Amino acid sequence: PLGQVSELAEQLEERLFHLYDFHNELIHERLRALAEVMERVEEARAELCHVCRTVEAAYRDLCL
């Protein structure tokens, strides 16, 4: 009986490690994807700021 319990505990531990590895990889993939999205968001933000400054300058020029 003790040997069976020990074997079952070993199997459970092995399955948990596999699950952990799988979820760990999944989390890393999603974090990489999030980083890529955040980079694109930052590029869009910078471009939008540039457009706003250009429009602001054009508006100033028109008003003077």
Number of domains the chain contains = 1
SS3 content of the chain, % helix, strand, coil (to 5): 95, 0, 5
Residue span of the structural domain in which 26 resides: 1-63
Q: Give pLDDT tens digits for 41-51.
A: 999 999 999 99
Q: Model confidence over 4-37: pLDDT tens digits?
A: 899 999 999 999 999 999 999 999 999 999 999 9
Report pTM. 0.64
